[in-house]
Structure 1
Amino acid sequence: MVVRDPVGTPGEPEGRMRPDETTVPVLPCVSAEETLAFYRALGFEVTYEQTRPYLYLAFRWSGFDLHFGRAPEGLDPALETSGGCLVMVDEVAPYHAELTRAMRAAYGKVLARGLPRITRHRPGASRFTLMDPSGNSVIFIRRDEPAEPEYGGSASLEGLARALDQVRIFREFKNDDEAAYRRANSALRRHGDGAPAADRALAYATLVELSVALGDGAKAQEWQAMLAGVELTDEERERVGAELANAEALRAWLGEDGGADRV
């Protein structure tokens, strides 16, 4: 395409490029039946459906579109590297709430492990991910999310506090609760004895929440018992209580038993 000024130059194509583009991701689809069932269950409108002579599906939800074509041969959805799409929004919490509501209505529960699934959304978090049956990730991101979050722990922190900041990255940006749990557990063993009581308590509370996320209620109780033995000021107790409240909210989101669906 040739960009020209409004007056134009002889011999150049008519018109000029304008910033009014619309982009639509075309993601790989391993199973048309499973993809149609999943997105319909969540309330997506099917705007185009074709399986022969070639596969092409199109969906619309709220103000954006997702399209799907045939997956390349040998694509393994379990690797969760099939494709991806970023959905930029002003606030992510309403989208998470609506998708959760639709998922409960369709499946009777939140699909929190395996494929398909939705990741949890902690209060104040700036993103969450919807994983579909083909291993595609649809990531809802708040527009004002920091452009360069610190991946690996803030340089202004030390010891256990720095490790807990790394845990935050694993949990909220990488959606890897297992890695977050291992990092928090390892840091507590390494730095716990010399760490301030408030940091140790926050580590215990973090491990309570991560245990709930991983479906290990027994471990969550163990960490809660260790937390109860830490002496804190009223201000510190309030800070730790906020983290425990996240664990209770997670239990409610996952269901009364507090356990995530197992693979």
Structure 2
Amino acid sequence: MLSVPSATVIPTLPCRALDDSLPFYRALGFDVTYRQERPNPYAAVRREDVELHLFGVPEFDPAQSMHSVIVLVPDTAALHAAFAAGLREAFGKVPVSGIPRMTRPRRMQGTRGGFMVVDPGGNWLRISRQRTESDADLDGGPQDRPAEEEGRLARVVAAAARQADSHGDEAAGIRMLETGLTRHAAAPPAQRVPALVYLAELHVRTGDRDAAGAVLAQVDALELSAAERAALAADLASAAQLLLDR
């Protein structure tokens, strides 16, 4: 078999127009390294070791795109924070519904934790944490599956994320979260917060702002200790941001 140790693989992704997609990628911190309009719209973008090529198809429908790219990084939270900062600077907020959009980093059942970016062409960038030697099996590693002590709602959130974030089925994610929250109604407030915040996010994604507001009101009504608020700082910050963005 021919060895190709120095091979480079570059995904090529469709978009309706380069002027739709390039500003989005610039906001994510990518540099535009090449662009042409004739004989066909084509561009290349790069951020550190990640290189993507884009081609324009005026009649293309982003909602029908089935293209995706898996990007493995050491720290998904840090990259998400950088992406979010760039999107807020460029567009005033992080889009969480429609096309384009970006999800929050979270664990997903049976996969390494990560987040999704859907670009203006409807292409999915699936950002996932790189596997390390200290990881256990993919379906059981301590960093890939909620620990028992985190409670059953953590496993509900991971299962819902697999449907809503990884598969794009927000309705299924909402059903799972609502069922889980009802079934585990006696769960401590600190365990309910991540599930409620994620449920609110999915309602925002599906355009049900009233439902999102009602869920966020539940979050606000929960009694949490100072230590619990510190541990849930990321979730509570997301809840506050959802109130602004919805």
TM-score, normalization by structure 1 = 0.68
Q: How does 1:22-41 map to 2 (within 5 A)?
A: 22-41=8-27
Match of 1:66 among 28, 52, 55: 52
**2:77 corresponding residue in structure 1:** 93
- Output the amino acid matched with 1:131: V
- Output the amino acid matched with 1:134: G
**1:180 corresponding residue in structure 2:** 173
- Displacement of 1:122 in angstroms is 4.6
- Displacement of 1:210 in angstroms is 2.3
**2:198 corresponding residue in structure 1:** 210
* Corresponding position: 1:133 with 2:126: no
- Output the amino acid matched with 2:159: I
Q: Gapped runs of 5+ residues in structure 1?
A: 4-15
- Distance in 2, matches of 1:45 and 1:116, equals 19
**1:82 corresponding residue in structure 2:** 66
SS of aligned partner of 2:173: helix
SS of aligned partner of 1:20: coil
- Distance in 2, matches of 1:126 and 1:42, equals 20
Question: Does structure 2 retain, via aligned residues, the 8 Å contact 1:91–1:142?
Answer: yes
- Distance in 2, matches of 1:90 and 1:69, equals 29
Which structure would you say has the larger Rg?
A: 1
Question: Does structure 1 retain, via aligned residues, the 8 Å contact 2:24–2:119?
Answer: yes
Match of 1:49 among 25, 28, 35: 35
- Output the amino acid matched with 1:42: L
- Distance in 1, matches of 2:90 and 2:219, equals 34
Q: How many percent of aligned residue pairs carry the same amino acid?
A: 31
- Displacement of 1:141 in angstroms is 1.3
- Displacement of 1:168 in angstroms is 1.4
SS of aligned partner of 1:54: coil
Comparing 123-132 and 105-114, the one that deviates more = 123-132
Q: How does 1:183-198 map to 2 (within 5 A)?
A: 183-189=176-182, 191-192=183-184, 197=186
- Distance in 1, matches of 2:129 and 2:32, equals 26
The 1:247–1:41 alpha-carbon spacing in structure 2 relative to 1, beyond 3 Å, is closer
The 1:100–1:144 alpha-carbon spacing in structure 2 relative to 1, beyond 3 Å, is same
SS of aligned partner of 2:243: coil
- Distance in 1, matches of 2:237 and 2:119, equals 24
> Deviation per CA, 1:31-54, whole angstroms, max 9, x where unpaired?
222012222233321122122212
- Distance in 1, matches of 2:68 and 2:179, equals 32
RMSD of aligned residue pairs (Cα, Å): 3.5
Question: Does structure 1 retain, via aligned residues, the 8 Å contact 2:177–2:199?
Answer: no
- Displacement of 1:59 in angstroms is 0.7
**1:19 corresponding residue in structure 2:** 5
SS of aligned partner of 1:47: strand
TM-score, normalization by structure 2 = 0.72
Question: Does structure 1 retain, via aligned residues, the 8 Å contact 2:154–2:195?
Answer: no
The 1:249–1:179 alpha-carbon spacing in structure 2 relative to 1, beyond 3 Å, is farther
Aligned positions, number? 222
The 1:76–1:148 alpha-carbon spacing in structure 2 relative to 1, beyond 3 Å, is farther
- Displacement of 1:83 in angstroms is 0.9
SS of aligned partner of 1:28: strand
> Deviation per CA, 1:155-189, whole angstroms, max 9, x where unpaired?
x98xxx65651331322674165533321222343
> Deviation per CA, 1:21-72, whole angstroms, max 9, x where unpaired?
2111111222222012222233321122122212321111122100122449
- Distance in 2, matches of 1:26 and 1:118, equals 20
